[in-house]
Amino acid sequence: MTNISGLVGSLKANNKSDVAIVQTCLKLIKTSAGSPFLSGSIDGSFGKNTKAAIVAFQDKYTGDANVGAGIMGAGGATIKKMASLLPIGKKDLRALPGQSRVYIAGSPNALAQSKLKISTTALTPSFKLSINAVIQSMYDKHKVVLGLAVKGGRRTFAQQAALSSAVTKAGPGESNHQWGNGADLGFVGLQWFKGNGALVTDDTWLENLRKTQYSHYIKFWDVRDAVATKPPNNLFTIRTLELIHLQAYSNSNYSASRSLAAHLTNVGDWTWSAIPGGPNRYACNLGGANNVVVDCGSAKKIFQGNASITAKEIETAGWIRPTSLASAAAELLDDIDVKPSPIGMFGAAAPTPPPASASLPITAADIAAVKLALQANFTEAEARWKEWKPVK
């Protein structure tokens, strides 16, 4: 229910949020003539227009001890009467501490639906608990409902790869979203008032508020982050990149690229390492006998089956042809009649020739096979996303 925290009136505390709530009430409640009690704007500043509106309201409706003085207090007769006269759906007015942007308190049903959505989203169990704790804390403290943005939960590698560079610099496997440890947590149906009393229903990102008054827009995100990042929730933001994102790990304490490389190594048969940059690149030993890693390109290119790999790099890694390709190479050796002599010098047995897979230069088919195998490594890493661990 609408209330204020302290005294509003001449020479009183006049906390900006209290004054703004009172002004909003006086904008929404009409006089006998059908016009708002307050003719001025909602700005959180106590002045003659606000005082005159309070006096007029008290004269008409209340037996407040301060009738005629334009003074009202928390839980007093005036604010109680104002609250009772507010229109249906606008009974519970709120403002962030020290701020003049008044909004309507979110409903318990909206809160429950938001938390249910998190509970049924593919996130790690511990991160689900943390996100729902943030949602509950924000509601308990400010009666604001937070919720998951569209596509703001776990993203597949394909969904991450489809995002433009204008949206994110992270490739598939490089975002906390792939591992169920990142979420885009914005605002659910926040309704706020303009200075003239008009009501605005905003989107998840508060774009309407951003365009109306940037400082108020930033304050809502500041308050969300204060709830999310402090104990007991202890989540992390990446505000220099995007306001809406929350994650379980601090970017200063782990490396997205090294974590992906480690995960690829742990779930597959090949060894991977990260080459930090913009974008990050990844090196792999291709399961070769030489135990040498070669640059295979960015995560996006590898995942899409277009790794930046050359014949020379495949040879350097000592890649071993799969049986099907080795058989084709042996047939080609037969076709060109390249056969080792069975008898060596002085009648000794000739050394065993190298296998056909090592006897031919790397072909276009080989390069294509390596690209598919690299892509398959990423596919396996995604399938086993729950096994991912952060690496510093």
Q: Which amino acid is at 103?
A: Y
For residue 343, the 8-state DSSP code is B
The backbone torsions φ and ψ at residue 127, rounded to the nearest 5 degrees and listed phi first, read -70, -35
- Predicted confidence band of residue 299 (pLDDT cuts 50, 70, 90): very high
- Predicted confidence band of residue 346 (pLDDT cuts 50, 70, 90): very low
Query: Which pLDDT belongs to residue 343?
Result: 38
Instruction: Please say if the pLDDT value at position 356 is more than 60.
Output: no
pTM of the predicted model as reported, rounded to 2 decimal places? 0.85
The domain locations on the chain are 16-102, 108-247, 256-338+352-387
Query: Which pLDDT belongs to residue 66?
Result: 56
DSSP per-residue codes, 183-197: EEEEESS-EEE-TTS
pLDDT one-digit tens code per residue, 313-345: 999 999 999 876 655 444 444 444 434 434 333
Query: Which pLDDT belongs to residue 165?
Result: 85
Residue with token string 């002045």: 47
Q: How many whole angstroms separate alpha carbon 326 and alpha carbon 64?
A: 95
Across the range 45-51, mean pLDDT stands at 95
pLDDT one-digit tens code per residue, 196-251: 999 999 999 999 999 999 999 999 999 999 999 999 999 999 998 889 999 999 99
Query: Which pLDDT belongs to residue 3?
Result: 96
DSSP per-residue codes, 228-256: HHSTTT--EEETTTEEEEEESS-TTT--H
The CA-based angle 343-349-355, given to 5 degrees, is: 90
Average pLDDT of every residue of the chain: 90
Q: What is the three-class DSSP state of 62?
A: coil
**Residue 337: Cβ-neighbour burial (10 angstroms; 0-12, 13-18, 19+):** exposed
pLDDT one-digit tens code per residue, 357-377: 445 789 999 999 999 999 999
Instruction: Please say if the pLDDT value at position 350 is more than 60.
Output: no
Give yes or no for a contact between 36 and 98, defined as CB atoms under 8 angstroms apart. no
pLDDT one-digit tens code per residue, 54-87: 999 998 987 655 555 789 999 999 999 999 999 9
pLDDT one-digit tens code per residue, 168-184: 889 999 999 999 999 99
Instruction: Please say if the pLDDT value at position 190 is more than 50.
Output: yes
Residue 363: C-alpha distances to residues 293, 367, 370 (Å): 20, 6, 11
Q: What is the dihedral of CA 359, 365, 366, 367, to 10 degrees?
A: 140
pLDDT one-digit tens code per residue, 218-227: 999 999 999 9
Which segments of 44-124 does DSSP mark as H helices, in order?
Answer: 48-61, 77-85, 108-119
Give yes or no for a contact between 124 and 386, defined as CB atoms under 8 angstroms apart. yes
Query: Which pLDDT belongs to residue 240?
Result: 87
Query: Which pLDDT belongs to residue 219?
Result: 98
Instruction: Please say if the pLDDT value at position 354 is more than 60.
Output: no
Give yes or no for a contact between 7 and 71, defined as CB atoms under 8 angstroms apart. yes
Residue with token string 């827009």: 217
108-247 is classed CATH 3.90.1150.10: no
Give yes or no for a contact between 267 and 381, defined as CB atoms under 8 angstroms apart. yes
Q: How many whole angstroms separate alpha carbon 101 and alpha carbon 158?
A: 40
